[in-house]
A and B are shown apart, each in its own frame.
Chain A
Amino acid sequence: MNRIWTLITKEARDGYRNRWVVMITLVMTGLALTLSLLGSAPTGTTSVSPLAVTVVSLSSLSIFFIPLIALLLAYDSVVGEAERGTLILLLTHPVSRTEVILGKFIGHLFLLTVAIVIGYGVAGAAIAFTGEDGFADQEWESFLRLLLSSTLLGAIFLSIGYVISTWVTERGTAAAVAIGIWLFFVLLYDMGLLALLASDGGNMIDGTVVKWVMLLNPTDSYRMFNLTSSNATALLSGMAGLSADHRASDASLILIMLSWVVVPLAAACAIFKRRQL
């Protein structure tokens, strides 16, 4: 247990020393503040809570940004240490390879969580305090869901990043694969699905099938989880028209996202165990 703790603190300190935390926290805060302050302008005097607007804008931002940051943190973790030669030394110590992966995962997740909580928290607080509504009347539940699910989204792409990092033998390849994975999940998947639906004309393919195919993509699960989190966010994001059977329950969305953390992480451990040094 102590050994995992040693690995976790080292990753966290590395992130701090490399200015990673500072950088991503600043970027997240900057983007979040910009989006939320600009985004709240058009609501004017409508009855919509400005925090709900913020949740909708921030979740759209997260879908692009958080997977990218997570992949950038993770892709280098094993293959980079292998190239520097520190991996061999690390593995001659009394730590198992599973512990190495878990230590990196927890350390990196901590960094991401700090950035998300600070970045989005500052934006949320700014909106809440500048709004006309009372502090307690805000959509805090939606906001909390945003923080939690954003962390989960980060965890998912960290896990995927470790699969890449344990699999490939060169850093350059790992970086290329990471960008490819990001493009696939964030852009291409939805575009492909949209193209499919457009060509189909909405007749042949069953709606529920489309829904589940879409939710297999963790970023879409994340989107659905946040945009339908309350009437206000659903209304704002155009999700209000969805009939009940087009929504997925929170439980199933969380289950999908959790399996996207656990399965790739287990796969990364298994691949790492068979990796020859």
Chain B
Amino acid sequence: MQENSNIELISVSKDYGKTKAVDNIDLMVSPGECLALVGHNGAGKSTLIKMILGLVHPTRGTVRVMGHDPLASSFNRVRGRIGFLPEQMLFQNNMTGRETLEFYSSLKGVSLAGIDDLFRRVDLIQAADDRISTYSKGMRQRLGIAQALIGTPELLILDEPTSGLDPASRQNVYSIINEAKNAGATVLISSHALTELDSRIDRVAILNRGKLVALGTIADLRRNIGLPSQIKIHAPASAMERLTQHFGDKCLINGVAQLSCPVDEKVTFLKEVMDLNIPLTDIEVDDPTLEQVFLAYAQKHEQDEKLSGGLDHE
């Protein structure tokens, strides 16, 4: 049996009535890789995850997880090797954190000996024996992450793992993901915003309305969408004239020259500005944020849809 990819999606679609929640997606994720699914609410991330977990039947296409069909009854043997953090979950308030982890450990058939380590890993050891009703939102989220780590899973699926976490805990989540990755696990995380992601993510899949609109490293995505860097130049009025002579009148907005250039040509561009030899008071350089990159992909996809939709009607 080949197990090159821990997750293998081939032309997978899921329709809910007329809505295409997931539309013809191909995706492979290898062991030791961390892939982030990014998209707006309702882009199809959760449906995709549920299909990988065998909770939802795909309308079309093939899903294979660790070489098995998640809908087959034999998949139960594979389930013990998967860790999952659901997007929104209310643990039972009347149980303690420890009881909760004990419950899920027994269901997975995992020894209870490692529970203290899990609590330490997510900085929750002091609260382990408290009722969950006393936990804050962030503590509940961390308990969820500890729960997903039970039995050192080979496939870790985290739906919005950093929601409700402070920056320190968020960094901790990424270091946990990194450890799992280094141990050879496949990590799949979902997020509604690229800005939440960390450089420790290997690849990003951007989903929009059920379709996979971009797949690649964060750097690749940034480059391929071709969003320019924004450069703002502050200078005395006299100097501005020379700037507008050089770059055109349009660039002057509210007394500030706002220019743009391709991301990898910033240095040459700034040299060009400096070579004008005018007294400048300040220069601001803004690379496109991940959020802008993400929005650009989503918008590009919608425009493409409109174009092809228009053609269909003719």
Please report A residues at the B interface, Cβ cutoff 8 Å: 2-3, 6-7, 10, 13-14, 17-18, 84-86, 88-96, 276-277
Query: Are A86 and B107 within 8 A (Cβ)?
Result: no
B53 near A18 (CB under 8 angstroms)? no
From A6, A18, A89, give the contact of B106 (CB < 8 A): A6
Write the chain A residue with the least CB distance to B88: A85
Q: Which residues of B contact A84 (CB under 8 A)?
A: 89-90, 92
Given contacts A13-B95, A85-B87, 12 further A-B contacts (CB under 8 A): A6-B103, A13-B99, A14-B92, A17-B95, A85-B88, A86-B89, A86-B90, A89-B86, A93-B79, A93-B108, A94-B77, A277-B55
Q: Mark B69-95, 1 if CB is under 8 A from A, else 0.
A: 000010011011010101111111011
A92 and B73 contacting across the interface, CB-CB below 8 Å: no
Considering only CB atoms, which chain B residue lies closest to A19 in the complex?
Answer: B94
| B56 within 8 A of partner (CB) | yes
- In this complex, how many residues of chain B approach chain A with their Cβ under 8 Å: the count is 29
Residues of B within 8 A of A91 (CB): 55
Kindly list chain B residues whose C-beta atoms are within 8 Å of the C-beta of A2: 106, 109
Inside 8 A of A17's CB, which chain B residues have their CB?
94-95
A86 to B55, alpha carbons, bound, how many Å? 13
* Complex A-B, nearest 6 residue pairs according to Cβ-Cβ distance, in ascending order: A85-B89, A17-B94, A6-B106, A93-B107, A94-B79, A84-B90
A100 to B77, alpha carbons, bound, how many Å? 16
Q: In whole Å, how far is A258's beta carbon from the nearest beta carbon of chain B?
A: 28
Residues of B within 8 A of A3 (CB): 106-107, 109
A86 and B92 form a contact (CB under 8 A) = yes
Encoded as 1 (CB less than 8 Å from any A CB) or 0, chain B from 213 to 231 comes to 0000000000000000000
Closest to B78 in A: A94
B interface residue numbers (CB < 8 A to A): 50, 53, 55-57, 73, 76-77, 79-80, 82, 84, 86-92, 94-95, 99, 103-104, 106-109, 147
A-B contact pairs, 10 of them (CB 8 A): A17-B94, A18-B94, A85-B90, A89-B89, A89-B147, A90-B107, A92-B53, A93-B79, A93-B80, A95-B76
CA distance A3 to B110 in the complex (A): 11
Residue of A18, A86, A88 near B91 (CB, 8 A) is A86
Give every chain B residue within 8 A of A96 (Cβ-Cβ): 73, 76
- B80 near A94 with CB under 8 A, answer yes
Specify which chain A residues have a CB less than 8 angstroms from the CB of B95 in the assembled complex: 13, 17
From B50, B84, B103, B107, A94 is in contact (CB under 8 Å) with: B107
Contact B73 A94 (CB under 8 A): no
A2 and B118 alpha carbons, distance in the complex (Å):
23
CB-defined contacts of A89 to chain B, threshold 8 Å: 84, 86, 89, 104, 147
Q: Which residues of A contact B91 (CB under 8 A)?
A: 86
Give, as a whole number of angstroms, the nearest-CB distance from B185 to chain A.
16
Known A-B contacts A91-B55, A277-B50, A277-B56; A85 and B86 likewise in contact (beta carbons under 8 Å): yes
Bound form: Cα–Cα A162–B82 in Å: 28
**Distance in angstroms between the alpha carbons of A31 and B281 in the assembled complex:** 87
CB-based nearest A residue for B79: A94
Which residues of B are found within 8 Å of A92, using beta-carbon distances?
53, 55, 79, 82, 84
Q: Which residues of B contact A277 (CB under 8 A)?
A: 50, 55-56
> Chain B residues with Cβ under 8 A from A7's Cβ?
107
Determine the distance from Cα of A7 to Cα of B95 in the docked complex, in whole angstroms: 14
A133 to B71, CA, bound (A): 64
- Which residues of A sit under 8 angstroms from B109, Cβ to Cβ? 2-3, 94
Distance, CA A91 to CA B108, complexed state (A)? 11
Chain A residue numbers with a CB within 8 Å of B80 are: 93-94
Q: Do A10 and B90 form a contact, CB below 8 Å, given A88-B50, A92-B55?
A: no
> How many Å lie between the Cα of A14 and that of B108 in the bound state?
20
CA–CA, A89 and B106, complex, Å: 14
Residue of A18, A85, A89, A276 with most partner-chain B CB within 10 A: A89
CB distance from A108 to the nearest CB of B (A): 16
Given contacts A17-B95, A277-B50, A277-B56, is CB(A93)–CB(B104) below 8 Å?
A: yes
**In the complex, what residue of chain B is closest to A85 when comparing beta carbons?**
B89
Contact B55 A94 (CB under 8 A): no
Nearest A residue (CB) for B52: A92
- In the complex, the chain A residue whose C-beta lies closest to that of B81 is A94
Q: How far is the CA of A89 from the CA of B150 in the complex (A)?
A: 13
Question: Are B56 and A94 in touch, CB under 8 angstroms?
Answer: no
Complex-state Cα separation, A84 to B103, whole angstroms: 17
Contact B77 A14 (CB under 8 A): no
Q: Closest A residue to B85 by CB, please name it.
A: A89
Q: Determine whether the beta carbon of B55 is less than 8 Å from that of A88.
A: yes
Identify the closest chain A residue to B148 (Cβ): A89
Cα distance, A135 to B188, chains bound together (Å): 68
- Bound Cα distance A85, B76 (Å): 20
A16 to B147, CA, bound (A): 24
Chain B residue, CB-CB nearest to A276: B56
Distance between Cα atoms of A13 and B96 in the complex (Å): 12
A93 to B78, CA, bound (A): 9
A85 cross-chain contacts in B, Cβ below 8 A = 86-90
Min distance, Cβ A84 to any Cβ of chain B, angstroms = 4
